[in-house]
Amino acid sequence: MAVSMIPLFLLPILLAGFRPSLAQTCLSDTFSSNRLFSSCNTLQYLGAAVHWNYHPDNATIDVAYRAPISSNGWVAWALNPTGQGMMGAQALFAFSGSDGVVRVYPTAISTLTPDVKDGNLSFKVYSKSGELSNGVMTIFATLELPGNRTTVNQVWQAGPLSNGSPSQHSTTGDNIKSSGSIDLLSGSVSGGGSNSRQRRKNTHGVLNAVSWGCLDAYWSHHSKIHEGFADPALVLSPCCLSTLSIYCRSCWMGHWS
């Protein structure tokens, strides 16, 4: 009986092996006040992620942008209705003031050295707030979608504060790569982001493969083990082979769904 339980004993270990990769994506993010978001992208640069809910009935989105921030720095996330990159971007800057209060300033970017202040954007900002916790800043906002377009250009940045105000960010490395487009309906992206929709499919493929692969191997050899002539390796080997087979099939089906 002890031998026959080997595959079931190993199953939680195999599943646990996938947790570190999931923990590095936006799928593991949680928010205060039990806020929930239906879609997210783990952005490739600056350690950031963006979460959103799209409301087609009134052409708005609820957004949560999350990124690490230095002790004397700022972060920003923006939509650019007129093009790609920084110029023309409609940004939300977040930083902590000298009084410790988090400030979120809507600022339209029209020059290389914008005056960051609590201003207006080219579209409506219905609400905005920020939270700083353990060196990570989260910007919450509800925005009007420019022209009700569901594919939009996004830009995100981080930089230092100077005399309590955001100053020029680095013009090398990840700071010049942090832009792209995002489809709010499908979650597909171009530029520096990962496809959250596809990531969920791949995650499902992994978990499905491990679970069904091992269980299939377990039951197929269960009777032989009880008869006393099956080596435990004969169970583990089919488990691995079945897992690989089902994972490949799951990924193929996910690609075409």
| Ranges of H-type helices in 17-141 | 19-23
Q: What are phi and psi of 256, to 5 degrees?
A: -95, 0
Residue 185 tokens read as 């309906």
Residue 176 tokens read as 């010049």
| Ranges of H-type helices in 109-231 | 196-227
Cα–Cα distance list, 64 to 36, 77, 83, 143, 164 (Å): 10, 10, 22, 11, 24
Residue 55 labelled as part of a binding site = no
CB 169 within 8 A of CB 63: no
Query: Given the structure tokens 């269960």, which residue do they identify?
Result: 222
Q: Binding site: residue ranges?
A: 204
Q: Specify binding-site residues for heme b.
A: 204
